[in-house]
Structure 1
């Protein structure tokens, strides 16, 4: 239990200590007027209370990520603790903070426009296409997944649930952000946190009574516990599987929505850095629960392999067993409602991204429909694909997006003549991870399945080369 409690404490301290350092280093100042106050068009630019913006941001970036990703990451063993804690504090939360605050400083611009501002038009056009595709795939994944679960629970038709969720998505995408998202998302965000805290409380209780053995992170656990380690290499695959609980590029597409809603720059640490820390806490809780509910990480693997179960089943089993009927309700919220609330903000972000590209004003519902109808038509066509087919392309794409945003933040720091290492070192590390994954991961998960040694070595060369190119590019800013 020491590892579990220490991990939670480290994340909380990370918010107060490193988060404050990042905020001061960035130079947040309440003397600057935020876009929410300056524009305030009543649709996408709407000043809202900090607690509400925080819960919306948390729900936007969370959904199933810190639950399913943490459970799948737990299959690699207790070493997942290190990636979640260190990745969240020094990479993920910093990534989210810079994504949001650079958007605040750029009048609430979408992430492709921010990338273009600091990395040039080539990266901007790449990001416009790449991030838009990622947002659509996330939206589609969070339509087909919940629709399938609802169809199984209600014995209803899949088509009916698909149409129903898409209809809700369209309404939530079109209406002003404070009408649906601003009203119901805080409640769902709170439910997701309460669910995680309930699981944490149950673990602590059963650990104290001796009914549950919570294993510690020890030197002997520094190995790959996965039942198929040949295809599921600890490095780099765990760093892709556990994304939302440690570092996720998808978050950078959501941050601009809240950048248009915060009242003061000082609120950015609570909203952007804080929401990521909260997600890390949720990930730690679920990774610990998954590793110990079945005995240890090895037994988790055996259960998942022999019984052919998935993370949704694990959530349901743990919630019902430890929290009873209340847990069953929270399980439904966790695996159905929360993904839906992530999916609709993905489509909303896609609308805003397209609007930013074409400088298309979104103040009238007619203009929002012009973008939304074709967008949802494409989404509906893609929803006919198998969920597994959609999902396997999201992991690597998600972290590639994070890499570009980290390099963007590093370039911003170089241009304002500040030390860039806070972002350039994480960017280099994640460049290595993504390049290695592309080379060594199995073909069915988006890789080339090359020899692990040579593939990883090539990934290291790509990462080091990227750092070298970056240092060469910023030499003019040092004069």
Structure 2
């Protein structure tokens, strides 16, 4: 319990302090925002600060900070320190600068910003990866809430006809929210969703406090490097597993949506930075809830989705448990709808497809939803299909974040600001994603294939870590070089 409380205090106090540091580095002013200069009644719409904050929180907080945190706590109480530190220095920083730089560039989506600050080559690679990520995000956020609704609330067979009816209803909502103006659907229904989310998180938190810490483990020298039950390494697996609770590249696509509805730049710290801190708190709460239940005897091999019901009912009883589960269902639904919306806007922006026309919005949406349905069918009909997609989703989620951190570093350097604030997290995560995909069996499986040649075991990370370090160094060198050139070009232009 002590480690959990220390972690929460660190998250809140550290977040308040570092959020101000990020704001000072960026320097928001009183210029008109895209919500005013490009108002179109569809995507560029001024909304109230509290509504922007709530919508952004619901957009970025999918099932990742819950399911990921439940799995991440198996690494031990170190998660209660790693989550807040990572959230403050990487995740919230990433979200804040992505949202603010987008606002300074007319509400541009990340692919367009990548093109501007990193070049056309990087944009082509990034665009393909982010489009795939958005599509997978939308699909998995149909799958997970659908299974929770049918299995935990309706108590029906998740492989029967009811599941497809539920999927169809969720998909129908996604279609509507993707096509209609943001303030007509999302802006009206999210306050209700937000209330459910907050109440459920508070309920679990109260349950943890009532437990008194009797079922929780504190961080000590003996528990610092506890081995995961399955033997996987803390680095890099933990940072891929708890992705959304620490940092998520997916968030870049979401904060740029809200950058089009913010009236004043100075609202950015609360809207972008603090909402990621709130997501980190959600991850902390569910991680602690899982630790309590595991401490009470719940089998550690229990799946993360099943643990949601166990934690909810364990702390809030029958009715309260259903309400908490509803809060978890809200998270993926309120991320899936804007994932599809963001994908529509990215494709439209890439190919200059005007989006005021209803016919063009519907046509482009159909192009998106047809492959989404096909992927959903594959994932549900293949026993290992969804598991495979989810693992690639987790890896890709962190990979796209390294691109965003790079463009932020270049932007800051070009303005004469401290670019290390995102370059260092970018180097760390380039090491994480590289070492993970090099070692994982869904990637290159280098140690398994070459371990015998070098006299190392398949579970070793020696080769993968080495490659990860090299990539991280090259990442830092390459981004700094691009940033310096852009800075020199800007200075030369001013002198002329």
Q: Shorter-chain-normalised TM-score: which range?
A: over 0.9
> Which residue in the other structure is 1:474 paired with?
483
Q: Matched residue pairs, number?
A: 464
Give, in whole Å, the separation in 1 of the partners of 2:54 and 2:366.
28
CA-CA distance at 1:197 after TM superposition: 1.7
> Which residue in the other structure is 1:228 paired with?
230
Query: What does residue range 294-305 of structure 1 map to in structure 2 within 5 Å?
Result: 294-295=294-295, 303-305=299-301
> Which residue in the other structure is 1:62 paired with?
61
CA contact under 8 A between 1:55 and 1:190: conserved in structure 2?
no
User: What's the secondary structure of 2:215's corresponding residue?
Assistant: coil
Q: 1:95 to 1:189 in 2, by over 3 A?
A: same
> Which residue in the other structure is 1:339 paired with?
332
CA contact under 8 A between 1:134 and 1:398: conserved in structure 2?
yes
Query: What does residue range 313-324 of structure 1 map to in structure 2 within 5 Å?
Result: 313-324=306-317
Give, in whole Å, the separation in 1 of the partners of 2:221 and 2:195.
36
TM-score normalized with structure 2 length: 0.90
> Which residue in the other structure is 1:242 paired with?
242
Give, in whole Å, the separation in 1 of the partners of 2:408 and 2:227.
35
> Which residue in the other structure is 1:383 paired with?
376
Give, in whole Å, the separation in 2 of the partners of 1:432 and 1:453.
13
> Which residue in the other structure is 2:383 paired with?
none
> Which residue in the other structure is 2:220 paired with?
218
Q: Identify which range, 36-45 or 324-333, moves more after superposition.
A: 324-333
Structure 2 residue aligned with 1:448, among 445, 450, 453? 445
CA-CA distance at 1:107 after TM superposition: 0.7
Q: 1:225 to 1:196 in 2, by over 3 A?
A: farther
**Per-residue CA shift, 1:162-213, capped at 9, x if unaligned?**
2222211111111111111111112212322221122111211220xx7x33
Q: Identify which range, 138-147 or 172-181, moves more after superposition.
A: 138-147
CA-CA distance at 1:471 after TM superposition: 2.8
Give, in whole Å, the separation in 2 of the partners of 1:337 and 1:91.
25
User: What's the secondary structure of 2:295's corresponding residue?
Assistant: coil
User: What's the secondary structure of 2:445's corresponding residue?
Assistant: coil
User: What's the secondary structure of 1:16's corresponding residue?
Assistant: helix
User: What's the secondary structure of 2:171's corresponding residue?
Assistant: helix
Unmatched 5+ stretches in structure 1: none
> Which residue in the other structure is 1:412 paired with?
411
CA-CA distance at 1:433 after TM superposition: 0.6
**2:192 is the alignment partner of 1:195:** no
- Give runs of ≥4 in structure 1 deviating > 4 Å: none
* Aligned alpha-carbon RMSD (Å): 1.7
CA contact under 8 A between 1:73 and 1:241: conserved in structure 2?
yes
> Which residue in the other structure is 1:14 paired with?
14
**Per-residue CA shift, 1:78-112, capped at 9, x if unaligned?**
11122201100011000000110111011111111
User: What's the secondary structure of 1:304's corresponding residue?
Assistant: coil
> Which residue in the other structure is 2:252 paired with?
252
Give, in whole Å, the separation in 2 of the partners of 1:151 and 1:315.
14
